[in-house]
Amino acid sequence: MIALVLLLIFSLSWSLTLEEAKELALKNHIDSVKSLLELKRLEERIREVRGGILPTIILSATYTKWDTNYISSFVPENKYFLNLRLNQPIFDKSVWSALKLARRSKKLQTLVKEEVKQRLLAEVEKLYWGVLLKREILREKEESLKYWETYFALVEEKYKRGIIPRFEFLRARSQLRQARANLIRAQSDLKSSLNSLKSFLGLSSPIELEGEFKKVEFSVKDAFSVLKEKNPTLKVLRASLEVYKARIELSKSPYYPKLSFFFNYNLENIMDFEGGQLKEDYRHGYNFGLRLDYTLYEGSKRSAKTRQEEIQLKKTLEELRFTENKLKNELESLLTQLRSAHEELLARQDSLLASQEALNFSTQRYAEGVGTQVELLEARRNYEEAKLSYLRAIYNYNSLVADIKKLLGEF
């Protein structure tokens, strides 16, 4: 019974809206998972570095068993030693610099995570519209098959009555068989698109999509200002600059002295005289003080390391300038393409309406015996091409919108 229920569950399709698909992508896609785990790792790194500010307490204990033939009477046969050490940094530039670096690295990773999010959501939208496009094409192929089945039945009847020649009958049968092949191909294309979306979402069970295949509404004011302010890639590069500045500061920390407070408490057993005889006794005590460490000379290691970080900072600065210009050009191209896609969509819509009227007219003429088969075939072919072109124009427009939203960080 349980196996039957499980089989029924896995055989059912999972119906998804666009928003649900986006949520699944952010939850399941490997890039999203990795960016989240990296963010958590950096949070632990901050905790690790922060530990350098707190005192270090170490307890050490040793036990030594001595051979009586080897030791003198002044050493206990069973030697015990206990040491409690405390070290508290008072001033250590490297700790504070490392903490600043860790915090900026976490901020950088937060922006990287946002960049991954924008990329994934744009890809989900394109995959989603791609599936709906294939679904609409399949519906069109189903309608086309019904049309050609009806048409073939009409032609077959006329052929049997001797009204039309054999080549018209064969042409109609060929068209019907081609419509069936086109339907099978459309079914395969839809399946492939669904599988691509399933793989992207990290799903294994069958899915179906909810939603209407239509042109999305989109508008943006002052797109280039939005790009400069909100583009996730530019945000990541700016945060990278801050990280390298912190790394330069960390590389300079050995130039500063280190000051710390220490405290020691010792407990051990000894052999001591008491009443003229050696007896085992215990001695304990403490000491404390300050320790100053300052590296006077370390060759050229410090300056070379600092110079490396400064060069990396310059590289990132140049990359930021280059990327900003590149993204501006990319946005300009996409906006131009979007305007063109909008006008093309309107043209395809008019073309579809015209071809629909032409097909209705040709079908009626052929049914009445006035029109020719060639005229009807051409009208039907023109209608199907117009319908598919209109559907692809909607997909092209929606895909461009997704790319623009990704650039502007609008998801």
To the question of pTM greater than 0.85 for the whole model, the response is: no
User: Helix (H, G, I), strand (E, B), or coil: what is residue 296?
Assistant: coil
Q: Tell me the Ramachandran region of residue 275: left when phi exceeds 0, alpha when psi lies from -120 to 50, beta otherwise.
A: left
The interaxial angle of helices 223-230 and 232-251, nearest 10 deg, is 30
DSSP state letter for 52: G
Digitized pLDDT (tens) for each residue of the chain, 411 residues in all: 444 444 444 445 678 899 999 999 999 999 999 999 999 999 999 999 998 889 999 999 999 998 877 777 778 889 999 999 999 999 999 999 999 999 999 999 999 999 999 999 999 999 999 999 999 999 999 999 998 898 899 888 888 988 888 988 998 899 999 999 999 999 999 999 999 999 999 998 888 999 999 999 998 889 999 999 999 999 999 999 999 999 999 998 888 999 999 999 999 988 877 777 778 888 899 999 999 999 887 777 878 888 999 999 999 999 999 999 999 999 999 999 999 999 999 999 999 999 999 989 988 887 777 778 788 888 888 999 999 999 999 999 999 999 999 999 988
Integer angstrom CA distances of residue 144 from 182, 194, 196, 288: 9, 23, 26, 93
